[in-house]
Amino acid sequence: MKKIITLDKLKINEEATVINIDSKCKLKRRFEDLGIVKGTIIKKEFYSIFKDPCAYLIKGSLIAIRND
């Protein structure tokens, strides 16, 4: 059984598959526009000096997302 975690808990070079985007999230539509939908594979590439934001590889594009 696979564990369920949020993006901010991924380690560098670790991949995860999106199973859900919190429907209460104000940015849900923006994430969907970026291609972050159910089934999308996301890989954490690196993070800034203060570990926020982090860069994720999503469908061939590197996208920075803040933890909050």
**Mean pLDDT, the chain, integer:** 88
Please report the pLDDT score of residue 1 as a whole number.
Answer: 66
Count of alpha carbons within 13 angstroms of residue 59, beta-carbon side: 11
Residue 68 has pLDDT above 90, yes or no: no
Q: What is the 3-state secondary structure (H, E, C) of 22-43?
A: CCCCCCHHHHHHCCCCCCCEEE
**Hey, what are 19's tokens?**
């199973």
pTM: 0.84
A 10 A CB-CB count for 44 gives 20
A 10 A CB-CB count for 58 gives 19
Question: Do residues 55 and 64 make contact, with C-beta atoms less than 8 angstroms apart?
Answer: yes
